[in-house]
Structure 1
Amino acid sequence: MDTIQNSVITPLQPYLAPIVSAIPEPVHDAVLSLIGKSCHGALLVDLDVTKDPACTSLAISKALGIAIVGASAVVKIPQILKLINSRSSAGVSFVSYALETASLLITLSYGVRNQFPFSTYGETALIAVQDIAIGVLVLNYAGRSAAAAAFIAVVAASVYALLFDQTLVDAQTMSYLQAGAGALGVASKAPQIYTIWRNGGTGQLSAFTVFNYLLGSMSRIFTTLQEVDDKFILYGFIGGFTLNVILAIQMLWYWNAPAPKQKSAPRPKAVEKAPSAQSTGASPRPSVKTPTTRRRG
């Protein structure tokens, strides 16, 4: 940090100071609510990243958290559009998205109940909504509309039980569920990894979604270490990052592989029938002329 301060920030301070003084008061208030008064004074007012190294780490963590929440609003939109445009769910595992949806709903409820900073879990709500949409599309394009309706009903009941009626799931049970959510989040990647390996291609899986998930899970490890002292959440992000690395490697390996096509039923071969002679009761006439007894001349 000393190198950055001396070589970059200090020479730019005469130019940055007027910009900082012109920042509107609501922006200062927002920064104060995120990093506190002392860090706000050191980083934004004094423009000194070496005064308190903990403030610098906290500011980086907050910035990453906000960026993750913002990116999560669109991280799976390419996957949704790809499914809609192709009208095919080939190569996309419903089980993977169902497990991830369950994990996200539990993590969201756990963060809300424990009053963690929204920047440490806010993306779970946005990604869960997109996962539900993808799950419904996958089932519909697979010809399982009834299963899609049942999936929505189960999700709605789970949201009510976890978020809106805390008497159904107490704090102790919520802790157990969060411990399982980490395992669910890790397990949700396994069906997708297996589907890609079995099909020999990524099908309709979106590369944008895969690589953004990789970066997001890596950033979440850092923000969790900085802001949330919870091993359950940390281990879940570490496990998810490991399997996201495998998915990213598969995406690169099968980059040019054609999308798997659904096998059509083989058409029955037409049997060529021999023309049958009509039975008239009379013997067929020969095609050659027979000699005649009629005299010529």
Structure 2
Amino acid sequence: MDTIQAIQVPTILHAPLRAIAQPLIGETCTTELLGPVIRWGPTCVARAASKGIGLGIVAAGAGVKVPQILKLYSAKSAEGLSYAGYALESAASATFAAYSVALEFPFSTYGESVFIVAQNAIIMAMICYYRQQPALAGLTLLAFAVAAFGLFALVPAGILKTVQSVALVVGLVAKIPPIIAVAKAGNTGALSAVTVSAYFAGSCARIFTTLAEVNDPLVLTSFLLNGSLNLVLLAQVLYYWNVPMPGSKLDEKKKQ
């Protein structure tokens, strides 16, 4: 028993870790987790794990669409990507972020939504550009800026709560165009396997952080349903893994 009680964070690390952990998990849990492991309770362990995972998702969200952006740039083609799907996803993500801010949820439970919206704006502009619609690309970026300002600065919290219930449906609908696009094309096109995998993993992690930190059945339902559709898209990516995009170098080699 004495050996187990001796297992704890080295004293020299207490000060810096307390400065980081206290604002996130509170004084009580910080003190508990800096003490012997045997005294750790499930509540504080779950809270610390949720914060760690949540902040990890936010950090990952800052670059989750970068592989997709790079693949688009490399392919110089938007085949397999749905402008409508990204527009719907962005609307749902922006609404969720504004809703979370209005209800004062911790940033660790929604922060990636802000980054996803910004990256989607870039992807949608690129889709327009590669489809020879440069004017629509500019309008897309302008629309994102105006919509974001409206949601965060002008729409009252009461209305946002109502809009979030609609955004739940919108978020689900947003997953359908990419699934249909891949099924019709018979290949993943410019769809990034890394991005899709990260989305599915993020959905699973968000279910945990929502249960631990956000007492909101609407948000939990959203992540459960989104996770299910992300799984379908991931299954498509795996199924069409070795199918080349028409006109690509790999496709030409297979024809030879």
User: If the length of structure 2 is used for normalisation, what is the TM-score?
Assistant: 0.91
In the alignment, does 2:198 pair up with 1:198? no
Counterpart of 1:34 in structure 2 is 24
Residue identity opposite 2:20 in structure 1? A
In the alignment, does 2:244 pair up with 1:258? yes
Find runs of 4+ consecutive structure 1 residues off by over 3 angstroms.
Answer: none
Separation of aligned partners in 2, 1:155 and 1:74: 19
Separation of aligned partners in 2, 1:11 and 1:230: 37
Counterpart of 2:4 in structure 1 is 10
| Post-superposition offset of 1:27 | 3.0
| Pick aligned residue for 1:175 from 161, 164, 171 | 161
| Pick aligned residue for 2:224 from 238, 254, 258 | 238
Runs of at least 5 residues in structure 2 that lack an aligned partner in the other structure: 249-256
Counterpart of 1:138 in structure 2 is 127
Counterpart of 1:276 in structure 2 is none
Contact map agreement 1:99 1:188 (CA 8 A) in 2: yes
| Post-superposition offset of 1:65 | 0.2
In the alignment, does 2:95 pair up with 1:92? no
Separation of aligned partners in 2, 1:70 and 1:153: 26
Alignment of 1:90-169 (within 5 A): 90-165=79-154, 169=155
Contact map agreement 2:96 2:113 (CA 8 A) in 1: yes
Contact map agreement 1:109 1:163 (CA 8 A) in 2: yes
Q: Indicate the RMSD between aligned Cα atoms, in angstroms.
A: 1.8
Contact map agreement 2:50 2:209 (CA 8 A) in 1: yes
Separation of aligned partners in 2, 1:11 and 1:205: 50
Residue identity opposite 1:209 in structure 2? T
| Post-superposition offset of 1:12 | 7.5
Counterpart of 2:215 in structure 1 is 229
| Post-superposition offset of 1:153 | 2.0
Residue identity opposite 2:233 in structure 1? L
Residue identity opposite 2:141 in structure 1? I
| Post-superposition offset of 1:229 | 0.9
Separation of aligned partners in 2, 1:117 and 1:202: 36
Higher helix share: 2
Pairs aligned (count): 247
Larger radius of gyration: 1
In the alignment, does 2:173 pair up with 1:187? yes
- Deviation digits for residues 124-152 of structure 1 (CA, Å, limit 9, x no counterpart): 11111111111110111011112212222
Instruction: Label 1:37 to 1:203 Cα distance change in 2 as closer, same or farther (>3 A).
Output: same
Contact map agreement 2:5 2:37 (CA 8 A) in 1: no
Q: Report the more deviating stretch, 150-159 or 119-128.
A: 150-159
Runs of at least 5 residues in structure 1 that lack an aligned partner in the other structure: 1-5, 263-297
| Pick aligned residue for 1:43 from 20, 26, 33 | 33
Separation of aligned partners in 2, 1:119 and 1:142: 36
Counterpart of 1:249 in structure 2 is 235
| Post-superposition offset of 1:213 | 0.5
- Deviation digits for residues 173-208 of structure 1 (CA, Å, limit 9, x no counterpart): 111111111211111110000000000010111000
Contact map agreement 2:80 2:187 (CA 8 A) in 1: yes
| Post-superposition offset of 1:11 | 8.5
SS of the residue aligned with 1:188? helix
Separation of aligned partners in 1, 2:128 and 2:228: 28
Residue identity opposite 2:18 in structure 1? H
Separation of aligned partners in 1, 2:202 and 2:185: 27
Separation of aligned partners in 1, 2:153 and 2:85: 26
Counterpart of 2:13 in structure 1 is 23
Counterpart of 1:291 in structure 2 is none
Separation of aligned partners in 2, 1:11 and 1:243: 45
Separation of aligned partners in 2, 1:214 and 1:58: 22
Contact map agreement 1:35 1:59 (CA 8 A) in 2: yes
Separation of aligned partners in 1, 2:142 and 2:133: 15
In the alignment, does 2:62 pair up with 1:73? yes
